[in-house]
Amino acid sequence: MSTDFSHTARVTRADQITPLIKNFSFERVDGKPFGPFSAGSHAVIGMHDGSESYKNPYSLVGSSNNFMEYQIAVRLESNGRGGSLFMHNNVEVGTELEIGNPFNLFPVYKPAKKHLMLAGGVGITPFMAYIDEMDLMKSNFELHYSIRDFEHGAFAKELKKKYPEQVKLYIQADDVIANFNTILNSQPLGTHVYVCGPHQMVGDVLRIADDLGWPTTSIHSEEFKAPDPGNPFTVTLAKSHCEINVRARESLLEALEQANVEIPYSCRGGACGFCKTEVINGEIDHRDYYLTDAEKASGKCIMPCISRAQGDHLTLDI
Amino acid sequence: MTEEAPGIKSKPVYSPLQYDPKSRWSLMIGEGEGLIGLINLLNSSDSIQSLTNHFMYAGSNVEKDYAHSYFSPNRCNKISQFENQDTLLAKLPQILANSHMGLRLYICGSETFLWKVAGVARAAGMHKSEYNMQLIGSKARRVYCPHCEATSDGVTTDIHECDGCGLPLVNCDHFSREMGAYLGFRVDAEVHGEIPERQELYR
Amino acid sequence: MTKLAFKPSLETFRDDFTYRNSEKAVKRFPFPYPEDKYMYSVNMEHHNGGEPGSVFEKTFDIDEHYLSEVEERRIVLEKDPKRFATLPHMDLHQWDLLELIMESLAKDYPEHFSLTKDNDNWLWENRPLGIKKSFVFGDKSTLPQDPAEYITRQAQGDFVLMDQRDEDLYADAAMVTSSADWSVQFDLGMSFMEWHGPVPLAHGMGVFERALKYLLMIRLGQPVRRLNWTLTINPRMDTAPEVYHEWGHERASVTPENAGEKVHLRVEVQTLFRLPRSNGMLFGVRAYLISMEDLCTNPAWAQRMHRVMETLHPELIDYKGITRYHKALVGWLSQFDQ
């Protein structure tokens, strides 16, 4: 169960590094070091705000003092569901929250001859750990980082200074835009491309790479997608004999958790498969990336972290 | 491309070459009778003819003449003919080093040749989804001997004497893509001298 | 807690075969058959402890044969250094393995092992082997061998490091000196399905498909284990294909009279761990050997052993190399199943 593998942690640093991005460091309240993690890992941060609780996955940007501290960077999402707002406004040095065990859905492809990273905005976060690993392994890498301007470009100055040859910055304010066609057009065999950033940017890169004949096995992407809101609906739990209401702005998983129903989870974004739950009745609005087409068509299972009822009711076999 | 045979999941199974319309460059590589597979591929799609492509081939003089007439300049951007497999394989790494993502290889010939080419492709960083193989020609096996680490080429029987240590080996269907070889082991290890009649299976 | 004691002199797993199990070792042997008839299953369970004193209690079990098995590994590697093999991209996995083994042994057997960390400056002590080694974690030049080779030379059991990519697992590095008839050199770099290629029946049952899906999702801190078994003639640990031409003849040396002494049950406790820095997987294979004679001092085991052998599927008999002596063995075991 995922809840068994979280630790209570205390915020040790909370720095506004750009107008929209805040950098947080944590240490465990029991004083022990965190464990090592692989580049690209995320950890789920759990916090409470009165009756509301949030559980959001964040990329682990790095660690320090041999894993005595974990670091994340959080972008303020004005259209979000409140998690990032809470992090920015209510989480400060000394605040305690829960940090889950690291889990990696965006790992480095180890045998690649060359690693090509394309980052936009807060999408830089997993690449911070990537670059640490590639530096250690003496890998061939390139980072193309698109930012609005230096003020809004988290870590941009430091990265360019430390890796002047490998890091290329594209500053929107100077009208310098990354041309993905050019970048992807002439890469040597054995290059793997990793893209992390806003939805539009990721979509563009995937489309361009595909058009340029990159095989899907050489393209890796991560999007920070919180579940979209939808219509409210009710859920009957067949085994527990109870009814739950799912509000518009919360996911089915969150509603279950609010009702103290424990479901295993990991990524909370429809990609990892951990929260798969059986459905007895009700039409499903599948929004995940995990189930096969056949599984979706069968209507027998759902990924509650992101998918919802098509109508106004579902019966789950839990 | 390659699929698993029933019964033993590591044995490669081959199917006709399939053109990938998403690719940007095609490199067609053949030897001997494999020419047929590449001709069929060229005929299977108009777009492959208009793409930047390169045809590399090793065969007899007669075969090379025929190949040249087929893969003439208006059907193929570049034609490279080689005296034998070894000279072709020696040239390939440099070609791949100058190539870019978006390249696909289409390989056709005897089984050992296919995997030699695949080995060069993998060393250049290519993934199995970027190259296609079709076996036309000899099914003679390359067999790896775990006792002395030698490989024997051209094995057409189920039992043969190892080129390295001379022990009588039986080869099974367990196949290593890295080596392009099947696994052999001493056929009479349990009772020395008890060797079954050998059968020719892989022509 | 009683201190773990090792055999006073080194036992051999070849030539004169002086290996013997004490009564205590026989009692804790991991008997693998839950029923009178054997068939494959995925049979994974969480690897988080077990009965005190059992082989499942510790993360990596060390027993009375420790010094003997370390020496046996040394002998195998001297004859054939390629029983440790690695592909170039596996450095992180190797450091993960070193860290995991060192931390586990120091935690589980503090009387024998200790690990002190000062940032990346580590001090490792292995008192039974008289080792006191300072090194820099992450710096290969500070160890005499590759990290995985260095630490596995001080552990019991074989270790396979797998890289996770393409929704698959690849055996890209391994230390295998007690192989049950598979070759590291040949299998290095194979995918999960490829290296399980030769196993009969299980593919048709979908066992490997389910197993792979399950393994891909294993999380940090949640290792699993399962049991595997085969039979060996004499307490021979190294039954690799590389030396099959040397040991194969032993299969023909079994008679209904000597089966109890010669035939050994070999049970592997297989453990699977998610590795933190590389995101890869560790596949640990810890083999335990017991002679039929010793096994049959337990009447329940003896009876079940007879029934499992008698009803064993012909393809399994063949795959596990039992064909030549199957009849003699079943004959010998029948005395325990009247």
CA distance B45 to B43: 6
Whether A5 and C221 lie within 8 Å, measured CB to CB: yes
CA distance B88 to B120: 11
How do the pLDDT tens digits run along chain A, 318 residues long? Answer: 334 578 999 999 999 999 999 999 999 999 999 999 999 999 999 988 777 788 889 999 988 777 999 999 999 987 777 788 889 999 999 999 999 999 999 999 999 999 999 999 999 999 999 999 999 899 999 999 999 999 999 999 999 999 999 999 999 999 999 999 999 999 999 999 999 999 999 999 999 999 999 999 999 999 877 778 889 999 999 999 999 999 988 899 999 998 989 898 888 888 888 899 999 999 999 998 888 889 999 999 999 999 999 999 999 999
The two structure tokens encoding residue C188: 């290095």
CA distance B188 to B167: 9
**Which residues, listed in sequence order, are joined to residue B63 by a DSSP beta bridge?**
none
Of A210, A213, A215, the CB nearest to B127: A215
Whether B126 and A190 lie within 8 Å, measured CB to CB: yes
CA distance C85 to B149: 14
Which residues of chain C neighbour A272 with C-beta distances below 8 Å? 217
**What mean pLDDT is predicted for residues C31-60?**
92
H or E element: which one contains A246? strand A242-246
The answer to whether residues A314 and A284 touch, using CB atoms and an 8 Å cutoff, is yes
Distance of CA C167 to the CA centre of its chain: 26
At B81 the pLDDT is 94
The two structure tokens encoding residue A275: 């929260």
CB pairs under 8 A between A and B: 54
Which residues of chain B neighbour A213 with C-beta distances below 8 Å? 20, 22-25, 101-104
Of A35, A102, A273, the CB nearest to C217: A273
Q: Does A137 share its domain with A190? A: yes
Which residues of chain C neighbour B177 with C-beta distances below 8 Å? 189-190, 194
The CATH number of the domain holding residue A308 is 3.10.20.30
Confidence band, pLDDT 50/70/90 cuts, at residue C181: confident
**Residue C101 pLDDT exceeds 50:** yes
**Is B122 at the interface with chain C, CB within 8 A?**
no
Chains touching B (3+ CB pairs < 8 Å): A, C
Chain C nearest CA to A272, separation (Å): 8
Angle between helices C326-333 and C299-310 (to 10 degrees): 140
Task: Pick the residue from chain B with its C-alpha nearest to C203.
Answer: B7
The answer to whether position A109 is within a domain reads no
Of C186, C243, C244, the CB nearest to B176: C186
Chain A nearest CA to C176, separation (Å): 23
Task: Pick the residue from chain A with its C-alpha nearest to B101.
Answer: A189
Whether B126 and A189 lie within 8 Å, measured CB to CB: yes
The answer to whether residues B130 and B104 touch, using CB atoms and an 8 Å cutoff, is yes
Q: What is the CA radius of gyration of chain C?
A: 20
Q: Does A214 share its domain with A270? A: no
At B50 the pLDDT is 61
CA distance C87 to C174: 9
**What mean pLDDT is predicted for residues C298-318?**
95
At A188 the pLDDT is 98
Whether B127 and A186 lie within 8 Å, measured CB to CB: no
Q: Does A266 share its domain with A309? A: yes
Which residues of chain B neighbour A205 with C-beta distances below 8 Å? none
Encode pLDDT of B28-74 as tens digits.
999 999 999 999 998 888 777 666 689 999 999 999 999 988 887 77
**Is A19 at the interface with chain C, CB within 8 A?**
no
ipTM of the prediction: 0.92
Number of domains in chain A: 3
CA distance B169 to A157: 63
Interface of B with C in 137-176 (CB under 8 A): 144, 146-147, 149, 167, 172-176
Which residues of chain C neighbour B189 with C-beta distances below 8 Å? 244-245, 247-249
Cα dihedral value A96, A102, A107, A110, nearest 10:
120
Which residues of chain C neighbour B10 with C-beta distances below 8 Å? 190, 193-195, 197-198
**Is B55 at the interface with chain C, CB within 8 A?**
no
CA distance A85 to A91: 9
The two structure tokens encoding residue C134: 């300072």
Instruction: State the catalytic residues of C.
Output: 226
**Residue C204 pLDDT exceeds 80:** no
The two structure tokens encoding residue A261: 């129903």
3-state helix/strand/coil string of C298-313? CHHHHHHHHHHHHCCC
Pick the CATH number of B3-135 from 3.40.50.80, 3.30.70.1150, 3.40.190.10, 3.30.70.260: 3.40.50.80
CB pairs under 8 A between B and C: 75
Encode pLDDT of B126-150 as tens digits.
999 999 999 999 999 999 999 999 9
The CATH number of the domain holding residue A164 is 3.40.50.80
Chain B nearest CA to A185, separation (Å): 8
Chains touching A (3+ CB pairs < 8 Å): B, C
How many CB atoms within 10 Å of residue A53?
A: 15
The two structure tokens encoding residue B36: 């047929």
H or E element: which one contains A74? strand A69-75
Q: Does A193 share its domain with A241? A: no
Q: Burial level of A118, CB count in 10 A (0-12/13-18/19+)?
A: buried
Chain B nearest CA to C334, separation (Å): 25
The answer to whether position A228 is within a domain reads no
CA distance A76 to A83: 9
When the pLDDT of each residue in chain B is averaged and rounded to a whole number, the result is 91
**Is B93 at the interface with chain A, CB within 8 A?**
no
At B51 the pLDDT is 66
Which string of DSSP letters, residue by residue, matches B60-112? Answer: -HHHHHHHHHHT-TTT-SEEEEESSHHHHHHHHHHHHHT-BTTEEEEEEE-HH
Reduce the DSSP state of residue B50 to 3 states and report it: helix
Give residues with Cβ within 8 angstroms of A287, minimum separation 6.
Answer: A227, A228, A270, A303, A306, A307, A308
CA distance C55 to C30: 7
C193 to A213, B3, C172, C284: CA distances (angstroms): 28, 12, 14, 18
Per-residue b/e over A254-266, b at no fewer than 16 CB within 10 Å?
bbbbbeebebebb
Residues of chain B above pLDDT 90, percent: 77
Q: Does A274 share its domain with A213? A: no
Encode pLDDT of C133-158 as tens digits.
999 999 999 999 999 999 999 999 99
At A203 the pLDDT is 95
Whether C194 and B9 lie within 8 Å, measured CB to CB: yes
Q: Burial level of A4, CB count in 10 A (0-12/13-18/19+)?
A: exposed
**Is A109 at the interface with chain C, CB within 8 A?**
yes
Chain A nearest CA to C66, separation (Å): 29
Mutate to test the interface with A, among C162, C168, C213, C279 (most CBs of A within 10 A): C279
Confidence band, pLDDT 50/70/90 cuts, at residue B4: very low
Task: Pick the residue from chain C with its C-alpha nearest to A266.
Answer: C219
Interface of B with A in 112-141 (CB under 8 A): 124-127, 129-130
B141 to B134, B154, B180, B181: CA distances (angstroms): 15, 5, 9, 7
**Is B105 at the interface with chain A, CB within 8 A?**
no
The answer to whether residues A82 and A247 touch, using CB atoms and an 8 Å cutoff, is no
Q: Does A60 share its domain with A79? A: yes
**Residue B168 pLDDT exceeds 50:** yes
Chains touching C (3+ CB pairs < 8 Å): A, B
Sheet holding C281-291, edge to edge: C45-46, C224-233, C263-274, C281-291, C158-165, C168-175, C84-86
Please name the residue that has the structure tokens 């061998």: C145
First to last CA, chain B: 21
CA distance C200 to C193: 12
Whether A5 and C164 lie within 8 Å, measured CB to CB: no
Whether B146 and C183 lie within 8 Å, measured CB to CB: yes
Q: Which of A188, A129, A291, A196 is nearest to A206 (CA)?
A: A196
Chain A nearest CA to C155, separation (Å): 23
Chain C nearest CA to B140, separation (Å): 19
> Which of these three, A174, A195, A222, is where a domain ends?
A222
Whether C249 and B191 lie within 8 Å, measured CB to CB: yes
CA distance C40 to A29: 45
Give domain limits for chain B: 3-135, 141-186
Of C117, C217, C220, the CB nearest to A102: C220
Q: Burial level of A24, CB count in 10 A (0-12/13-18/19+)?
A: buried
**Residue B5 pLDDT exceeds 70:** no
- Find the DSSP H helices in A29-177: 83-90, 124-137, 156-162
Q: Chain C: which residues have CB within 8 Å of chain B? A: 82, 166, 183, 185-190, 193-198, 203, 208, 240-245, 247-249, 251-252, 324
Q: Does A216 share its domain with A119? A: yes
Q: Which of A44, A35, A103, A5 is nearest to C217 (CA)?
A: A103
Which residues of chain B neighbour C241 with C-beta distances below 8 Å? 146-147, 183, 185
Q: Which of A300, A312, A176 is nearest to A245 (CA)?
A: A312
Please name the residue that has the structure tokens 């795959």: C319
Whether A190 and B124 lie within 8 Å, measured CB to CB: yes
